[in-house]
Structure 1
Amino acid sequence: MTEPTRERTRLYLITPASVPDVAAFAKTFESALAGGDVASLQVRIKPDGLIDEATTEAVARALLPLCREREIALIINDSVDVCEKVGADGVHLGALDMQVKAARARLGKQPIIGATAKDSRHIAMEAGEQGADYVAFGAFFPSETKADTVPADTELLTWWQSVMELPCAAIGGITPERAKALSLAGADFLAVSASVWAHKDGPAAAVRAFNAALDEAATAF
């Protein structure tokens, strides 16, 4: 019996925590897409650690047409309210946010629901049981985007891939140079922020470098 072939790991972009100029960021996001494949974009506007719902909604509305055109899933961080208002593709819930089952009951079957699991197998499995569409593990490396992270080991990705069908995302300090190893370890998605928006050669170059690393990893599956 032939083992099923893993699909190629894909890129999951996360916005900067602060977006002072929505129109300018929309152009930055569009420029990033010149670098190649992007699976999803999470709108995470938390300039002081708390969600700014007004700016989250503004950014989501500005980017939704482009995401629809490019078949990129638009995910809202934390806020089911904003997800419903703008008609986003889904919501990502942190460890202290609304439970997955409550979000699923409110949003229905169609929207994507992701859940933060940090380094916990138990939390990840519980999220899956409650109806999550993916779980996010990390941080795998020190992160500039989020200070309150929990270290995670790549063995967690390998274990998850071996026992669960639910997709998993790796997050935390991921750069193009680290992408291949995380893909080979078992990540279905790489969630990245600063390594794209603050890349020395620009967002498109960063996305291009990530995709090159993920293409290389896919040949070894």
Structure 2
Amino acid sequence: MDLDLSALPARERILLTAHDLFYADGIRATGIDRVIAASAVTKVTFYRHFPSKDDLVRAFLDHRHARWMAWFVDALGRRGAHERSGDAQALLLLADVMAEWFTDPVFRGCAFINAVAEVGGSVEGAAERARDHKREMVEVIADLLPTTLPQRMALAQAAAIGIDGAIVKAQMGGAELVREAVEDLRRLLRALADAAAPTSPPSR
């Protein structure tokens, strides 16, 4: 963890510690005692802020959503997405954005896919938060496409499904699988961008 947490308020310290542990090692594998020890707080302090592990999991997902979406929008912006908004070929920027994430040393896949697999049926609100996260991702992708495009949301949904597939493949580990995941995604995005291109009327 690069950030020095010692000066942060207890709740924020617990949440950021849990974020890193849950994402790196999994929600089920990370017990409350480990979070308490790593956060350097007492049990009384922990339970004052998070009455149960489920409460901490929900807070983790809310924090992860805000953090990841901020990164996603910024990563697109750094590649000129704002200037190319409305150009369907801007969809191809998504492959470069995912390549940046997949090669991050702390990449462990999508926290929301992981959370649904682990606790989606047992932690109230977890699956709903995952759906909301994916819905917002689709909205950001749709903003890359022309607003007049009739199939705009359908294409954004297809791109999002492609991203999720690439995430899972990259999560399997190894530089070769990461490269394949990015290139597979790039091919899909190119096909979607071509599908969004206006067609010329047939010549007489």
TM over 0.5: no
Relative to its length, the structure with more helix (as a share) is: 2
Normalised by the length of structure 2, the TM-score is 0.26
Normalised by the length of structure 1, the TM-score is 0.25
Structure of greater Rg: 2
Relative to its length, the structure with more strand (as a share) is: 1
